[in-house]
Structure 1
Amino acid sequence: MSHASLHTSSSTTSDAQRSLAPYGWDAGWEAEFAPYAAQGLLPGRVVRVDRGQCDIHTADGVVRADTTYVTPHDPLRVVCTGDWVAVDPVGDPRFVRAYLPRRTAFVRSTSSSRSEGQILAANVDHAIIAVSLAVELDLGRIERFLALAWESGAQPLVVLTKSDLVPDATGLSYLVDDVETTAPGVQVLPVSSATGDGIDVLTAVVSGGTSVLLGVSGAGKSTLANALLGADVMEVQAIRDVDGKGRHTTTTRNLLALPGGGVLIDTPGLRGVGLWDAEAGVGQVFAEIEELAARCRFHDCAHESEPGCAVLAALEEGTLPVRRLESYRKLLRENRRIVAKTDARLRAEMGREWRMKSAEGRANFAAKRAGGRR
């Protein structure tokens, strides 16, 4: 490489460092990008994806690029919001040539019959689960979001929005306690975009890294995003107080640099939150059950009727709520079904278990009938 080329390359690198630092660019990403820099490609972070096109923040500003070259058959490997990519420096259209290996990836299963995974956001440090206090808490849904968040590799944070609608401090304290019990190891923060309560604490949390806002429609995500951004960037629609429902205000995933530092990815309201190979995430959400299970007499204990089951003992003692165990079982079953659709070995194993249980059931029924004839 000539001296002039070397100077141009180092100049481009320093420009990228300055302009991309607010979006999370660091020495690690720079090292990953080195092979693409040698090819004359530009680094950038995807701020929005829409039908095979994406907007990318680069040292040249925001550019629009085509993702044709990186659109594989695997839906988990398509370009998504939060990705760091290598893009053509010039051209009309420009093309994304590659994306850098993801540090974290937030994935859910789609509602399609094919049961494919859908990647929602990449390279996320904090998963902010927005839960509205304008309606009754759905602890099972919170557990579901937490399982996906832990599985992604991000640190979850539950934000209880619209805390100003709770009439007294005692009631708010009870609600926070309920969610903390549901979310072991996770910070639970009540906030109000209307009064500003808790926003300063949340701003401090999100200032270090990339955060993704998750929640159902009406959870107050767009209002929360505006509070963090200090401006009405996200459109907000009226939400009915009676049921917390309203129109979806965010229709795409958008990545925005925050004035106090950090990056925010806002997502559309999620109607369905299907698990996608999230067994480790489920285990993290129900850490107390996993700890109990390790004390069971049998290592393959199903926690149903086995002797020496520490989980059932905790249930009888009242130290483990029935709702928690039922939710744990439900999420594990759902996750197993999803994995089985792409894992032939697990599918065969589940088939054997089903046949054994069916045979057991028939034998029990036959025994009862025989006993009734005596």
Structure 2
Amino acid sequence: MTIEANPSDPLTRLGWDEDWDRRWAVFHAGFRTGSTASSRVFSPAGTPGAAIPAKNTGENTEPHLLPARVVRVHRGACDVQTPLGPQRVEVPAGTLVPEPTTGDWVGLSLDDPDGARPVGVLPRRTVLARASVTGRSAEHVLAANVDTVVVAIGAESRTTNGRVERFLALAWNSGAHPVVALTKSDLVPAHDLDRIADRVRTDAVGVEVVPVRQDDPATVAELRNHLRGTVVLLGSSGAGKSTLANLLLGEDRFAVGAVRSVDGKGRHTTVTRELQPVPGAGEPLVLVDTPGLRSLGVSDLGDALDRTFADVEEIAVDCRFSDCSHTSEPGCAVLAAIDAGVFDRHRLENLRKLEREQAWFASRTDARLAADRRREWKKIAKANRDRYT
């Protein structure tokens, strides 16, 4: 079964292309032959009275499957868009692996007499995920199949050092391309805005930083020029993500709210992740607004850390020692660059902090590293006991 990309098709407007057509062909063939995990999962029937008609077939007939994109996830269900229109389907916890998230493409079976039901998730291109806020060595998936991550930074906010790098590391790690939107730029005097933008650019090496004014459509158009495919808005509570989403959509689709006057933090106006097509875009452009992130743990970043701190890594290759820790070693090119004003010391400090988090995360998932960590803490505890006894 082939679902060809068509500009007038609802799936094409949500990002369906030739690559997904190929992936669907493999998924459909595997389901038909029973060779995929998707065909072996159990899921109860969809919502009674569903818009998609169910079809009864014999055992040896071709299975009736439709591709659909997850628009919104609820507890035990999700809203999807299919070639036949929108649909809500039940997805009890544990019935699909991985569990569908906003941006996923799923296969819906029409062969259940009670309605459509999801039978599998197509392999993801990219995954935007953060470390679990519970402190466990697990990831919380924010969105799937993302092409562009817009990191929203409020121009008037008191953003702490390291917040920008943390968001960018998360974006690079997903496989998507990051862009920084300096929101609420109309609330800051022009001379201050230039200084703030320059400061953000020092933390966003190799990433476009676009100041956006709510009263200037030209700034919104400039940001849109940097967006491709499925776009996720990422940022802290109160950063102006929903306002930015409405500006990109050209309508007040998402609710917005004021920040607290005490600390400038938001109130979680957006509570779910919702996918919406952007009208008027030359190529299909899809937008996902997300709830604000007050806690942003990062898991295994891999090469994303090097990309986020490309300026530090580029200079580090000139250090005298290959295992230089950039603390007090002679011939350290990084420390020399800091003294020369090439970049601020906070960049190195933020890199070290993220490296420590990476080591902690690895020790939670790797038995050998966990044992090494326990031995190190035992040495420290013993040294402290010997000192005070």
Superposition deviation, residue 193 in structure 1: 1.9
- Whether 1:256 aligns to 2:276 is yes
- Whether 1:146 aligns to 2:168 is yes
Task: Look up the SS of the partner of 1:227 in the other structure.
Answer: helix
Question: Taking structure 1 as the reference length, what is the TM-score of the superposition?
Answer: 0.86
* CA–CA distance in structure 1, aligned partners of residues 330 and 381 of structure 2: 22
Aligned residue number for residue 20 of structure 1: 11
| Change beyond 3 A, Cα 1:240–1:267 | same
Task: Look up the SS of the partner of 1:214 in the other structure.
Answer: strand
Superposition deviation, residue 251 in structure 1: 0.8
Which of 183, 186, 194 is equivalent to 1:161?
183
Task: Look up the SS of the partner of 2:110 in the other structure.
Answer: coil
8 Å CA contact retained: 2:93, 2:99: no
- Whether 1:44 aligns to 2:64 is no
- Whether 1:172 aligns to 2:196 is no
Superposition deviation, residue 359 in structure 1: 8.4
Task: Look up the SS of the partner of 2:180 in the other structure.
Answer: strand
* CA–CA distance in structure 2, aligned partners of residues 14 and 144 of structure 1: 36
- Whether 1:34 aligns to 2:25 is yes
8 Å CA contact retained: 1:228, 1:258: yes
* CA–CA distance in structure 1, aligned partners of residues 115 and 376 of structure 2: 54
* CA–CA distance in structure 2, aligned partners of residues 316 and 132 of structure 1: 30
The AA in structure 2 aligned to 1:312 is L
- Whether 1:328 aligns to 2:351 is yes
Aligned residue number for residue 317 of structure 1: 340
Task: Look up the SS of the partner of 2:243 in the other structure.
Answer: helix
Aligned residue number for residue 237 of structure 1: 257
- Whether 1:136 aligns to 2:158 is yes
Superposition deviation, residue 64 in structure 1: 1.3
8 Å CA contact retained: 1:217, 1:268: yes
- Whether 1:306 aligns to 2:329 is yes
Aligned residue number for residue 189 of structure 1: 210
| Change beyond 3 A, Cα 1:256–1:121 | same
The AA in structure 2 aligned to 1:201 is E
More helix by share: 1
Task: Look up the SS of the partner of 1:85 in the other structure.
Answer: strand
Aligned residue number for residue 118 of structure 2: 96
| Change beyond 3 A, Cα 1:163–1:94 | same
Aligned residue number for residue 81 of structure 1: 102
Per-residue CA deviation, residues 42-95 of structure 1 (Å, 9 max, x unaligned), is: 1111111111211111101111122348646x8xx3211001111123643532
Task: Look up the SS of the partner of 1:341 in the other structure.
Answer: helix
Aligned residue number for residue 81 of structure 2: 57
8 Å CA contact retained: 1:128, 1:212: yes
Per-residue CA deviation, residues 132-187 of structure 1 (Å, 9 max, x unaligned), is: 122223331111101100111111111011101112x2221111111111001100
* CA–CA distance in structure 2, aligned partners of residues 293 and 353 of structure 1: 27
Task: Look up the SS of the partner of 1:255 in the other structure.
Answer: strand
8 Å CA contact retained: 1:17, 1:26: no
Aligned residue number for residue 56 of structure 2: none
Per-residue CA deviation, residues 226-281 of structure 1 (Å, 9 max, x unaligned), is: 11111111111233466433421111100000002300011011111100111422
| Change beyond 3 A, Cα 1:300–1:255 | same
Task: Look up the SS of the partner of 1:137 in the other structure.
Answer: coil
Structure 2 unaligned blocks of 5 or more: 30-62
Equivalent residue pairs, number: 351
Task: Look up the SS of the partner of 1:278 in the other structure.
Answer: coil
Greater CA drift, 131-140 or 325-334? 131-140
Task: Look up the SS of the partner of 2:120 in the other structure.
Answer: strand
The AA in structure 2 aligned to 1:228 is L
8 Å CA contact retained: 2:76, 2:93: no
8 Å CA contact retained: 1:209, 1:263: yes
8 Å CA contact retained: 1:219, 1:244: no
8 Å CA contact retained: 1:135, 1:243: no
8 Å CA contact retained: 1:16, 1:59: no
Superposition deviation, residue 104 in structure 1: 0.8
8 Å CA contact retained: 2:148, 2:230: yes
- Whether 1:108 aligns to 2:130 is yes
Aligned residue number for residue 243 of structure 2: 223
* CA–CA distance in structure 2, aligned partners of residues 191 and 346 of structure 1: 45
Superposition deviation, residue 103 in structure 1: 1.0
Per-residue CA deviation, residues 303-327 of structure 1 (Å, 9 max, x unaligned), is: 2222332222223333231111111
| Change beyond 3 A, Cα 1:14–1:129 | closer
* CA–CA distance in structure 2, aligned partners of residues 238 and 122 of structure 1: 29
8 Å CA contact retained: 1:68, 1:95: no
Question: Taking structure 2 as the reference length, what is the TM-score of the superposition?
Answer: 0.82
The AA in structure 2 aligned to 1:95 is R
| Change beyond 3 A, Cα 1:65–1:15 | farther
Task: Look up the SS of the partner of 1:307 in the other structure.
Answer: coil
| Change beyond 3 A, Cα 1:14–1:229 | closer
Task: Look up the SS of the partner of 1:205 in the other structure.
Answer: coil
| Change beyond 3 A, Cα 1:90–1:226 | farther
* CA–CA distance in structure 2, aligned partners of residues 143 and 229 of structure 1: 27
* CA–CA distance in structure 2, aligned partners of residues 16 and 127 of structure 1: 24
Greater CA drift, 244-253 or 271-280? 244-253
* CA–CA distance in structure 2, aligned partners of residues 362 and 291 of structure 1: 43
8 Å CA contact retained: 1:106, 1:149: yes
